[in-house]
Amino acid sequence: MYNLEFKEGRPLDLIGIGRLCIDLNADQFNRPMEETKSFTKYVGGSPANITIGASRLGLKPGFIGKVSDDQMGRFIVDYLKGDNIDTTNIAVDHTGAVTGLAFTEIKSPEDCSILMYRDNVADLKLSTDDVSEDYIKNAKALHISGTALAASPSREAVFLALEYARKHEVVVIFDIDYRPYTWNNDKETATYYNLAAEKCDVIIGTRDEFDMMEQFEKEKKSDEETASKWFSHNAEIVVIKHGAKGSFAYTKDGNSHTSGTFKTKVLKTFGAGDSYASAFIYGLFQHWDLSKAMEYGSASAAIVISRHSCSDAMPTTKEIDDFKAKAERQEIS
């Protein structure tokens, strides 16, 4: 098992911090974006998606972020409010910054990519002035996303949130969420990711993301070696995702768990990680065995990758339970 203490009685379950952007998902898929004529607008941004997913499952989330002072910023805040997410700590930028756009290309179910417009985005203008200690101390968990570390002042805002979380025994969950287009170079990325990961209780990432973080190491690490590195800091749980092959989780007490996937009709692959994370985190809040939490994450991911969006597609517990009852499992390969 794992030793995570969610402080009961606090009004918020989970606070997300970082990117609030807009997904523009191609309406005409199974073709390159050059041939796309129209897009559908959704709220996007990995931490936003995970927070929305957690809310759909019945957790009480809040968010610390910054939006643009325009229709897109207002669309995002209104959407989060509509999903019962506390938005009192989402600041509005007044420097003329814009909302990040993620154009998604679905060439085939297996060949999807994201074209990111991220110049002068409001989410990276989140500053330490926007981070409230009182807000964080009233939450059971803080979920941070790696891309919020990509530039100042957002970077310092996240590290301050981490300090407040550790001071007030708020469980910290780090979804690595490595998006190369937001960073200057891999060495800078690894430096900040490692500094943040040292302060986190739960670390979730793909094998490739951990490899990026471990680029300064002499040799490539196995999943077990990766996990044990973080147990020497504050980690209680390390989850390593392997795409369609499934996922592996390790706990500080030396136990490990694997989860296969669920057979699904894949429309697009992105959104798998965010939906997996939100449902996995929900499982931690239920104090489930890790295998059950991972299976819930896998089922949520299988649902979301069969749908057009990420945020809109986030399922409820009933949807996941119904899906699991009918779906065919694919054991870890």
Ligand X SMILES: Nc1ncnc2c1ncn2[C@@H]1O[C@H](COP(=O)(O)OP(=O)(O)OP(=O)(O)O)[C@@H](O)[C@H]1O
Instruction: Select from ligand X, ligand LN3RO5KU, none the partner in contact with residue 12, using the beta carbon and a kind-dependent cut-off of 5 to 8 Å.
Output: none
The tokens for 225 are: 């070696």
Six-digit token string for 221: 């690490």
Cα–chain-centroid distance for residue 286? Answer: 19
For ligand LN3RO5KU, give the closer residue by CB, 226 or 275.
Answer: 275
Query: Does residue 270 interact with ligand LN3RO5KU by CB under 6 A?
Result: yes
Contact characters 136-175, ligand X, x per CB under 6 A: ----------------------------------------
Number of residues that bind ligand LN3RO5KU (CB under 6 A): 14
**Interacting residues with ligand X between 182 and 211 (CB under 6 A):** 206
**Tokens 């969006």 belong to which residue?**
309
The burial of 96, by beta-carbon neighbours within 10 Å (0-12 exposed, 13-18 middle, 19 or more buried), is given as exposed
Give the C-alpha separation, 283 to 176, whole Å: 19
Angle at CA of residue 284, ends 43 and 204, nearest 5°: 60
Out of 247, 251, 309, 311, the only residue in the binding site for ligand X (CB under 6 A) is 247
Strand 329-330 and strand 261-262: pairing? antiparallel
59 is an interface residue for ligand X by CB under 6 A: no
CA distance 181 to 26: 20
Q: CB neighbours (10 Å) of residue 258? A: 15
Q: Are strands 39-44 and 21-26 parallel, antiparallel or unpaired?
A: antiparallel
Residues 204-243 vs ligand X: string with x where CB under 6 A?
--x----------------------------------xxx
The one of ligand LN3RO5KU, ligand X, none whose footprint includes residue 53, by CB under 5 to 8 A per kind, is none
Among 46, 206, 226, 278, contact with ligand LN3RO5KU (rule: CB under 6 A): 46
Q: Report the alpha-carbon distance of residue 242 to residue 247 in Å, rounded.
A: 5
Q: What's the Cα-to-Cα distance from 103 to each of 44, 270, 288, 303, rounded to whole Å?
A: 10, 12, 36, 21
Query: By beta-carbon distance, which residue lies closest to ligand LN3RO5KU?
Result: 44
Q: Binding of ligand LN3RO5KU at residue 271 (CB under 6 A)? A: yes
Does position 51 interact with ligand LN3RO5KU (CB under 6 A)? The reply is no
Sign of CA dihedral 227, 285, 176, 168: negative
45 binds ligand LN3RO5KU (CB under 6 A): yes
The least distance separating ligand X from the CB of residue 167, rounded to whole angstroms, comes to 30
Q: Which of 55, 269, 309, 311 touches ligand X (CB under 6 A)? A: 269
Residues within the interface to ligand X (CB under 6 A): 206, 241-244, 246-247, 261-262, 264, 266, 269-274, 276, 298, 301-302, 305
